[in-house]
Amino acid sequence: MRMKKILLKTSLNLIAWILSFIVLIPFVVVIINSFKTDAEVNVLTLKLPEKWIFENYSVVFEKGNLAISFFNSTLYAVVSSFLLVVVVAFSAFVLARNTTKLNRFIYYFLVLGITLPLNYIPLMSVMKGLHLINSQFGIILLYTAMGIPISLFITYAFVNNIPKELDEAAVMDGCNAFSLFFRVIMPLLKPILVTVFVLNFMNVWNEFTAPLYLLNDVDKWPVTLAVYNFFGQFSAQWNLVSANIVLTSIPVLIVFLLAQKHIVGGLTSGSIKG
Amino acid sequence: MKLKKLYPWYFSSGAIILYMLFIVIPALVGIYYSFTDWNSYSSVKNFIGLENYKEIFVGDEVYLKYIKNTFVFTIFTSIAKTVLGLFIAILLVSGVKAAGFHRMVIFSPQVLSFLIVGLVFKSLLDPNYGFLNNTLHALGLDFLAKSWLGSLTWAMPSVMAVDTWKGMGYIMVLFVAGLLAVPKDYYEAAEIDGAGFFQKLFRITLPLLMPTITIATVLNITYGMRVFDIIYVLTNGGPGYATDVINTAVYSAFAKGYWGMGSALSSVLFVIMAIVSVFIIRIMTRNEVER
């Protein structure tokens, strides 16, 4: 009996390590090959490089147009996440508090966007009509709009957990709508708004489709498009492509490590109620 | 207390305006375009009624293939991610060592872009220099080595496997959260009654995890039906049309300048998802409705 238990424990641990290994190995292959010479990288293996070529990284940084695209991705991610937090906090507050028939309808209508697909071809002509095509401001607004449904969904649930008595007390103390929102509600919403910010930051940083359709100028491209374009030019040189992959994944991995709790908490919120 | 004054309607106007401008109006305009022959070769849009839809559903078989591929991709990746995610979650809460480490590792592909994951696996799965075939050759398993992304039979399973590799961590995290919420005394009581592993799994764990399973399925379906990036990067729909889904077909229609046709294809997806959404939103907001 005891023997059996030890055997079971060992095999469970072994399976866990095999799974982690399966997930890790592609990363390891990419990292190792990013330091190899052109000739050595012809065959991708787990063998360590004969000579470590650190220059691959500087080559990639220059030829890959990375400085400007890092700036662009950061700009799009930060500004759209900031706008999103503001817009969502205001609307979640009012929609959750004042539950008229109309407001309920608006809430469901907005949340419907979680599942609906974007139609990029007409989106292009709409954005053209608004003079927002091939524009940095345009894509920032688009990203804000794309983030609204899911962010509203998780923030709305959070507002519902703030007791309404607080509002009444604030009104007694002479608060109006704005001071109630900024002094009482906003501070209480802070944790969920941080989550909304971080999740949207990562989504925008990783997004690829919208700029593919909407941005023509190289100097407006985010990192994803820059990497894809680099791959088109250097697809035979996997050492350089690998270095590019590593470089452009670092920022998002750092955000993940720093904000792990918020990310996992945000992704699981709403999934276990019931 | 005057609710109107305390919760002014215009607080929600920012979200509504952005949502209307970038999501709703384009969808409606797209339905209008889908009845036209709008393309890059002529400056006039002619209204052609249902011609585009006729072409999709009874004209060229390839369009039905896109739709079928979309469903195949959605169904298989949904099942794979749910089963693997649940399996790993149960494994990690059953007391293995370094569970936190494993959880972080298995979740980590989720934070990378589909573009990056696509490029990584394009290199790993390359028939000539790729890591997978090299390893198979080195192990003497030459007969298993294949042109993974280039073969009509293996391209779709390979793409689905890569997608599962990336997505199963997210589903696992959902299940871990769900499992940790199951009261421990349920299991203790069951053990006293002499229940075995499978009895506990089917009588306690799975029934209590139903809300999580539902949400996971919802997420997997909405993701799968709209999939684009990973397929675009890995195979661009090829070889032939083996991995072409609705959204990759929309992009090729767009790139070729057939904008009316692209809008029609996109609208088909829109209608499918609108129908699915009604059920999904009901499930997701079920608790709030009851309250």
Place of tokens 């649940």: B86
Nearest to B216 by CA among B147, B138, B164, B261: B164
In the prediction, which pLDDT does A271 show?
Answer: 55
Nearest to A224 among B21, B113, B263 (CB): B113
Mean pLDDT of chain B: 87
Residues pairing with B36 in the sheet: B47
Is residue B134 over pLDDT 60?
yes
In the prediction, which pLDDT does B288 show?
Answer: 45
Place of tokens 């298993």: B144
> Does A99 contact chain B (CB < 8 Å)?
no
Nearest residue on chain A to B121, alpha-carbon basis: A26
* Alpha-helical segments (H) within B181-245: 184-192, 197-200, 206-225, 229-234
Residues in chain A closer than 8 A to B163 (CB atoms): none
Contact call for residues B139 and A53 (beta carbons, < 8 A): no
Residues pairing with B47 in the sheet: B36
In the prediction, which pLDDT does A143 show?
Answer: 96
> Does A158 contact chain B (CB < 8 Å)?
no
**Minimal CA separation from A260 to chain B, in Å:** 9
pLDDT single digits (tens) A144-158: 999 999 999 989 988
Give the pLDDT band (50/70/90) at residue B4.
low
Nearest residue on chain B to A142, alpha-carbon basis: B22
Q: Judging by beta carbons within 10 Å of its beta carbon (0-12, 13-18, 19+), is residue B2 exposed, middle or buried?
A: exposed
> What predicted TM-score, i.e. pTM, was given to this entire model?
0.89
For helices A55-63 and A66-97, the axis angle rounded to 10 degrees is 70
In the prediction, which pLDDT does A256 show?
Answer: 86
**CA atoms A43, A48, A49, A50: torsion sign:** negative
Round to whole Å and give the CA distance between A91 and A143.
17
**Minimal CA separation from B50 to chain A, in Å:** 18
Q: State whether A245 and B119 contact (CB < 8 Å).
A: yes
Nearest to A208 among B9, B21, B115 (CB): B115
Give the pLDDT band (50/70/90) at residue B289.
very low
Question: Per the omega criterion (within 30 degrees of 0), is the bond before A222 cis?
Answer: no
Residues in chain A closer than 8 A to B249 (CB atoms): none
Is residue B291 over pLDDT 70?
no
Predicted-complex ipTM score: 0.88
Q: State whether A176 and B5 contact (CB < 8 Å).
A: yes
* Alpha-helical segments (H) within chain A: 2-33, 55-63, 66-97, 101-111, 120-129, 136-160, 165-172, 177-179, 186-206, 209-214, 223-233, 238-258, 260-268
Nearest residue on chain B to A200, alpha-carbon basis: B111
CB pairs under 8 A between A and B: 278
Chain centre distance of CA B11: 33
Nearest residue on chain A to B267, alpha-carbon basis: A119
CA R_g for chain B? 24
pLDDT single digits (tens) B135-155: 888 888 877 878 888 888 899
In the prediction, which pLDDT does A47 show?
Answer: 76
Which stretches in chain A have pLDDT values below 70? Answer: 1, 269-274
> Does B15 contact chain A (CB < 8 Å)?
yes
> Does B225 contact chain A (CB < 8 Å)?
yes
Q: Which of B116, B248, B289 to mutate to test the interface with A (most CBs of A within 10 A)?
A: B116
Nearest to A272 among B130, B178, B229 (CB): B178
Most confident among A256-270, B93-107, B156-170 (mean pLDDT):
B156-170
Residues in chain B closer than 8 A to A147 (CB atoms): none
Residues in chain A closer than 8 A to B174 (CB atoms): 267-268, 271-272
Nearest to A148 among B7, B19, B105 (CB): B19
Nearest to B174 by CA among B95, B92, B118: B92
Residues in chain B closer than 8 A to A46 (CB atoms): 131
| B47 three-state secondary structure | strand
Round to whole Å and give the CA distance between B57 and B173.
40
**Residue A60: count of CB within 10 angstroms of its CB:** 26
> Does B65 contact chain A (CB < 8 Å)?
no
